[in-house]
Chain A
Amino acid sequence: MNLRCFTYIILLLTLFACELERDLDIPLPTGEKYYTLEAYLVHNEPYQTLLFRSNTMQGPVVFDLVWNASVKIINNTDTIRLSNIIQTDNTNNYIYNYYNDKLVDRNTAGYELSIITKTSDTLSAFSLSVPEVEIDSFRVMNNLLSVFTNNTNLPGSNYYMIRYYTYPLGENVHQQKVFDYSEKPEGLVQIDFPLSSDSIDSLYVNLYRINQTAFNYHISIEKAYAANHDPFTIPGPIQGNIKNGFGIFTCCSLDTCMIYLP
């Protein structure tokens, strides 16, 4: 038989035999449902938090909001009780299920969180306040967003988060990333962030100053996510600051800007 013909037959047999993926009938690891909280206390914005529970590998996947809990945030002089009300942030479509319209005071040194759920489970956390942040200038060049701001001389306060929203053809695209500038000197620093698309009409940029706890939290969730698909990232636990639960309770300051691209 012609060798080439024979080889092609074998190749085709090989190719048609390929079955790359299939469902697997295995018992999945068991785990508990954990309370999870996200609370960013932004200066001069209302107190708002999101309290929900995680999913296990068994059972249906739901976004399991926790209702009727007693949520208190305590500063030096005041106790703020948050009501169980669904609130939506129209800028980013975030939702919160505990809210108080009182504004976060920038001059408070720190905040304590205390939660007692309907089933008498307790969660608590503490966060120090951070200095104000201000966008000095910005630029977009070669599909790279550069934001300039000033580092402070306070230890532990030179962590940043950039969150931007783009509006190409009316579609809202949201990206965020945290940055550690704690080893940079006081003064002007440049924070670079690559844009996800080169067909951007306009850009709404949020620059947050966050503390180290929040920075570590974001890094750990990025890594946990990456470990699911990136072979070079080792799975690790999510590092939050919520006692008896997951998530983050943190103070932050915010400055924003709108960029229209030619």
Chain B
Amino acid sequence: MKKTRYSIFRVIPKQVFLYIRSMRCLFKFILLFCIFSLCSLNGIMGNPIKGKLLDSDTRRPVGNALIILKTTNTHTISDSSGIFSLNINTFPAILEISHVSYEFAEYPLNQYTSNEITILLIPKTEQLESLVFVHKNKKEEELALKKINWGKAKISKLTSGFGEPDIIRSLQVLPGIQKSSEINASLNVRGSGHGNNRISLDGLPIYNSYHLLGIAPMFNAEVINKVDLYKSGFPASKGGYLASYLDIESRAPSMEDKKLIFGIGNLSSKILFEGPVVKDKIGILFSARYAFFDMISNIYEELHQDREDFISLPDYQFYDINLVSDISLPKYFKLRVSFFHNTDNFAYAPSALKLESKWANDLLSLSLSRSINKNTFIRFTSGLSFYSFNGKYNPSWIIKRTNNITSFENQLFLSYKPSGNWSIETGTFLQHNNYYLNNKEMYPSSIIREATFTPVSLLWGFYAESNFRFTKQLSFIAGNRFNFYSFDQTIFCPSPRIQFNYSGNSVGINMSYDETWQFNHLIAPLGFNIPADLWIPADKNIPPQKARQIALHFNHHHSNFKTGAGIFYKQFKNLSELKNGAELVELEPAEELTFGTGFAYGFETSGTYKNKLLEIELNYTYSNSKRKFSEINNGQVFSPSYDIPHKFDAVFSIDITKNITTNITWFWASGSITTMPTGFIFIPHSANSNPYPLYSERNNFRMPATHRLDIATVFSKNHSWGNSQLAIGIYNAYNQTNPYFLFFILRTDEHDEVSVIPQQLGIFPCTPFINFKVELK
């Protein structure tokens, strides 16, 4: 029975098990400390005024609003359920409420009340369901990542990829974030690989964030409340990855009103329902999407199969489900249960080759939180995230690959503000990962070779961060994250970080230094990311990755103009690449990988202009990213595939009328890097009569520059029964076919002379799209 009790840890060594037990003790201690401290503080502060902020139209809770007591400047922030608490000693008093997406509001309080007050906020625009980027500290965010501080309506307009808001593609237009190909949904932040980003939904990691190879948005914008992205100046609560932290939080379901949304578009259709299960106590939000790309491919094949140059399209299906439930518990505790599932099926058989693959993410997150008072907040998050990939590749025999990751993560977060100029964040974390990798090379009746790799890793530790404000303008943040990583031994990896902020009336300056560790590697043979990429944990033969980054940002705002600029320098250690000629079928990862160093530096700038009708945003990034591996290119420095020196994005948003908005986006970017042969040979004594490529150096060729113009117009209309929204647009308006792949053919001309012709494969030339959505009250 004892074995059964600890079965999840049965495969890890005894000393690791002891660490887990000590972790549990530490965890208990911190929990008790927090509860004790909070109870004490609550007694000292007396009974605060408690209130709830609601959207005046939808009656949804409004989180992250700033509530200031006008007479004393005492302030607090509403939580995701719109709840806030503020200590008021003298009456009458006036509360000032401000939020980026709502009109400023004042609420008079003539006398003390023990009942919860309800304040309705009027939204600034009528597009209520779109995204908003909200940050932990608006003041800091303006300094470090000013351009991300968008309002809901603006984000919704900017990110209409094929008519649906797309979080990842929205982020790709930001300065400092590159994409390794036009379509791919990878985020290459400041010269790092996509695998160096932590992408999490409701606190749990999502290991593969692609639908339709990045063409369709992975996250349904209808269920997203906020998106936080950190490129530098990482809070101590963020760790375990090198480049960036993308936190996506699901929206709180309405506790009062029911709502039903239907949507249909080129790529997928969707349905969303939300409403109270128990009024003001339990709310639930359910959303599902289904893609019918297989219908498109079938129609295409029927239309084109008689053509000589016919190339079949792949069969592709995906669906995803979001389920979020918020539960109000006694003593102002809030419990959130969040479930996410997606499945993608892909099959392609252009000739004798046959490729079938299926991948899925499953995520279950539980989050218990409480705003004790205006100075103290506590949250405990726990959950499971599971990713599985199954692929079958059939050249002349069969290659099968299975790649599963199961993550069990726990985090305790506590923020406490001892005084007006000083705040503290601290907490603990524990991440237990099980990996299962299996590769088979087989004939239909027998296995030729098989390799199975089942490592287990454990990351645990604690963190603390202090934010001290010297003056109104000047503040200093210092933190450290103490990582303990266990495989068959335990290593200690501290992760210090500091920040200086200056925030004047119109000028802000931020300087930060971060050290980060990453305890797994994403093996991406293509250079850009696909679901078949492998996550490999660090162990005695695979060292953990490390990065150090120093960044300086400056921003200035004047009237309707905002400008910002920044520089960064990063150093990388223990990065991984596949060896020359590595084959992932032969899976002993350490034998196929080689490790080296890297660096990246760059300059980022952006500017915006905004008036009532027009909003213009211009972003430019210069960056240089290099790698050095002793076993690649004879130890010479080379560029990774995502080294994009220049990137320029322009976004125009025009409110033609109150209900019609047009968005125009254009980008230009240097081409990505790829490996090209420098010649080829015919080998008569080989199995193949085709030419064999001669490769000299890895990543020796830069692809042509890419650019594209997208135009979309959104028509909104309010009805007595709800509202509707129609988005019509053109993807790639001037039909620029950017290369997705390069390949070569041999062509014989009229003089019987054979020559090599490079060809490119583009994915979407000029493509119209439509998306229609109906929201029923």
Which residues on A are within 8 Å of B, measured CB to CB? 3, 6-7, 10-15, 17-24, 26, 28-34, 36, 38, 40, 50, 52, 54-63, 94-95, 142-144, 174-177, 192, 194, 196, 218-225, 227-238, 246
Closest 4 CB pairs of A and B: A236-B581, A31-B678, A236-B580, A61-B754
Contacts of A62 in B (CB 8 A): 754
How many angstroms between the C-alpha atoms of A95 and B685 in the bound complex? 9
How many angstroms between the C-alpha atoms of A94 and B684 in the bound complex? 7
How many angstroms between the C-alpha atoms of A221 and B688 in the bound complex? 10
B296 touches A234 (CB 8 A): no
Asked whether A238 and B694 contact (CB < 8 A) given A38-B684, A194-B397, the answer is: yes
Asked whether A31 and B684 contact (CB < 8 A) given A57-B677, A232-B393, the answer is: no
- Taking a contact as CB atoms closer than 8 A, the residue among B582, B767, B772 that contacts A234 in the complex is B582
25 contacts between A and B (CB under 8 A): A7-B264, A11-B296, A12-B299, A15-B300, A15-B303, A18-B300, A19-B737, A20-B761, A21-B309, A21-B761, A29-B700, A29-B701, A31-B678, A33-B679, A54-B680, A56-B679, A58-B756, A142-B444, A144-B446, A176-B686, A231-B526, A233-B525, A234-B579, A234-B580, A237-B694
Cβ of B107 to closest chain A Cβ, rounded Å = 44
A24 touches B759 (CB 8 A): yes
Cβ of A204 to closest chain B Cβ, rounded Å = 15
How many angstroms between the C-alpha atoms of A98 and B107 in the bound complex? 98
Interface string of B672-689 (1 = CB under 8 A from A): 000111111111111110
How many angstroms between the C-alpha atoms of A231 and B570 in the bound complex? 30
Q: Which A-chain residue is minimally distant from B296 (CB atoms)? A: A11
A227 touches B687 (CB 8 A): no
B687 touches A176 (CB 8 A): yes
A235 touches B296 (CB 8 A): no
How many angstroms between the C-alpha atoms of A18 and B735 in the bound complex? 10
Contacts of B755 in A (CB 8 A): 59-61
Contacts of B303 in A (CB 8 A): 15
How many angstroms between the C-alpha atoms of A101 and B298 in the bound complex? 60
Contacts of A7 in B (CB 8 A): 264, 770
Contacts of B444 in A (CB 8 A): 142-143
Asked whether A231 and B530 contact (CB < 8 A) given A21-B311, A24-B739, A34-B679, the answer is: yes
Q: Which A-chain residue is minimally distant from B701 (CB atoms)? A: A29
Q: Which A-chain residue is minimally distant from B768 (CB atoms)? A: A13
B-side binding surface: helix, strand, loop or mixed?
loop
Contacts of B688 in A (CB 8 A): 225
How many angstroms between the C-alpha atoms of A61 and B680 in the bound complex? 9
Contacts of A222 in B (CB 8 A): 687
Q: Is B445 part of the contact surface with A, judged by Cβ < 8 Å?
A: yes
- Taking a contact as CB atoms closer than 8 A, the residue among B694, B754, B762 that contacts A60 in the complex is B754
Q: Is B757 part of the contact surface with A, judged by Cβ < 8 Å?
A: yes
Interface size class of B (residues with CB under 8 A): 35 or more
Select the residue from A50, A144, A232 with max chain B CB neighbours within 10 A.
A232
A14 touches B695 (CB 8 A): no
B754 touches A17 (CB 8 A): no
Cβ of B356 to closest chain A Cβ, rounded Å = 14
Q: Is B742 part of the contact surface with A, judged by Cβ < 8 Å?
A: yes
How many angstroms between the C-alpha atoms of A20 and B693 in the bound complex? 24
Q: Is B448 part of the contact surface with A, judged by Cβ < 8 Å?
A: yes
Select the residue from B309, B585, B687, B764 with max chain A CB neighbours within 10 A.
B687
Q: Is B46 part of the contact surface with A, judged by Cβ < 8 Å?
A: no
How many angstroms between the C-alpha atoms of A112 and B324 in the bound complex? 74
Cβ of A21 to closest chain B Cβ, rounded Å = 6
Cβ of A234 to closest chain B Cβ, rounded Å = 5
Interface string of B746-777 (1 = CB under 8 A from A): 10000001111111111011111110100000
Select the residue from A19, A62, A94, A225 with max chain B CB neighbours within 10 A.
A225
A22 touches B737 (CB 8 A): yes
* A-contacting residues, B655-680, CB 8 Å: 675-680
How many angstroms between the C-alpha atoms of A12 and B753 in the bound complex? 40
Q: Is B743 part of the contact surface with A, judged by Cβ < 8 Å?
A: yes
Contacts of A29 in B (CB 8 A): 676-678, 700-701
How many angstroms between the C-alpha atoms of A222 and B585 in the bound complex? 14
Q: Is B611 part of the contact surface with A, judged by Cβ < 8 Å?
A: no
Contacts of A15 in B (CB 8 A): 296, 299-300, 303
Cβ of A55 to closest chain B Cβ, rounded Å = 5
Contacts of B698 in A (CB 8 A): 235
B676 touches A28 (CB 8 A): yes
A57 touches B678 (CB 8 A): yes
Which residues on B are within 8 Å of A, measured CB to CB? 264, 266, 296, 299-300, 303, 309, 311, 393, 395-397, 443-446, 448, 525-526, 530, 532, 578-585, 675-688, 690-696, 698, 700-701, 704, 737, 739, 742-744, 746, 753-762, 764-770, 772
For the A-B complex, the count of residue pairs with Cβ-Cβ distances under 8 Å equals 211
How many angstroms between the C-alpha atoms of A6 and B299 in the bound complex? 16
How many angstroms between the C-alpha atoms of A223 and B507 in the bound complex? 56
Q: Which A-chain residue is minimally distant from B395 (CB atoms)? A: A230
Cβ of A88 to closest chain B Cβ, rounded Å = 11
Select the residue from B396, B680, B698, B743 with max chain A CB neighbours within 10 A.
B680
How many angstroms between the C-alpha atoms of A210 and B446 in the bound complex? 25
How many angstroms between the C-alpha atoms of A22 and B311 in the bound complex? 13
Contacts of B680 in A (CB 8 A): 54-55, 57
B685 touches A40 (CB 8 A): yes
Asked whether A144 and B693 contact (CB < 8 A) given A10-B768, A223-B581, the answer is: no
- Taking a contact as CB atoms closer than 8 A, the residue among A26, A32, A34, A142 that contacts B445 in the complex is A142
Asked whether A221 and B772 contact (CB < 8 A) given A24-B760, A55-B679, A57-B679, the answer is: no
B766 touches A17 (CB 8 A): yes
A55 touches B691 (CB 8 A): yes
How many angstroms between the C-alpha atoms of A233 and B379 in the bound complex? 45
B761 touches A6 (CB 8 A): no
B525 touches A194 (CB 8 A): no
How many angstroms between the C-alpha atoms of A15 and B764 in the bound complex? 10
Asked whether A22 and B760 contact (CB < 8 A) given A29-B677, A34-B694, the answer is: yes
Cβ of B316 to closest chain A Cβ, rounded Å = 14
Cβ of B653 to closest chain A Cβ, rounded Å = 23
How many angstroms between the C-alpha atoms of A228 and B681 in the bound complex? 13
B759 touches A23 (CB 8 A): yes
A144 touches B695 (CB 8 A): no
Select the residue from B395, B682, B690, B701 with max chain A CB neighbours within 10 A.
B682
- Taking a contact as CB atoms closer than 8 A, the residue among B676, B679, B683 that contacts A32 in the complex is B679
How many angstroms between the C-alpha atoms of A175 and B309 in the bound complex? 28
How many angstroms between the C-alpha atoms of A136 and B707 in the bound complex? 63
Contacts of A60 in B (CB 8 A): 753-755
Contacts of A21 in B (CB 8 A): 309, 311, 759-762
Cβ of B98 to closest chain A Cβ, rounded Å = 41
How many angstroms between the C-alpha atoms of A56 and B603 in the bound complex? 38
Q: Which B-chain residue is minimally distant from A13 (CB atoms)? A: B768
Asked whether A234 and B525 contact (CB < 8 A) given A17-B766, A221-B686, the answer is: yes
A10 touches B770 (CB 8 A): yes
Contacts of A175 in B (CB 8 A): 687
Cβ of A37 to closest chain B Cβ, rounded Å = 11
B693 touches A235 (CB 8 A): yes
How many angstroms between the C-alpha atoms of A14 and B675 in the bound complex? 32
Q: Which A-chain residue is minimally distant from B751 (CB atoms)? A: A60
Asked whether A6 and B760 contact (CB < 8 A) given A61-B754, A224-B692, A234-B578, the answer is: no
How many angstroms between the C-alpha atoms of A95 and B682 in the bound complex? 12
Since A18-B300, A142-B445, A234-B580 are in contact, a sample of 19 more A-B pairs with Cβ atoms closer than 8 Å, ordered by chain A residue number, is A11-B266, A12-B299, A19-B765, A21-B760, A23-B759, A34-B694, A54-B679, A54-B694, A55-B679, A57-B676, A58-B756, A61-B754, A142-B444, A196-B396, A229-B743, A231-B526, A233-B525, A236-B579, A237-B694
- Taking a contact as CB atoms closer than 8 A, the residue among A31, A59, A221, A233 that contacts B692 in the complex is A221
A246 touches B760 (CB 8 A): no
Contacts of A246 in B (CB 8 A): 681, 694
Select the residue from A33, A57, A234 with max chain B CB neighbours within 10 A.
A234
Contacts of B744 in A (CB 8 A): 57, 228
Contacts of B758 in A (CB 8 A): 23-24, 26, 28
Asked whether A225 and B756 contact (CB < 8 A) given A31-B679, A50-B685, A234-B581, the answer is: no
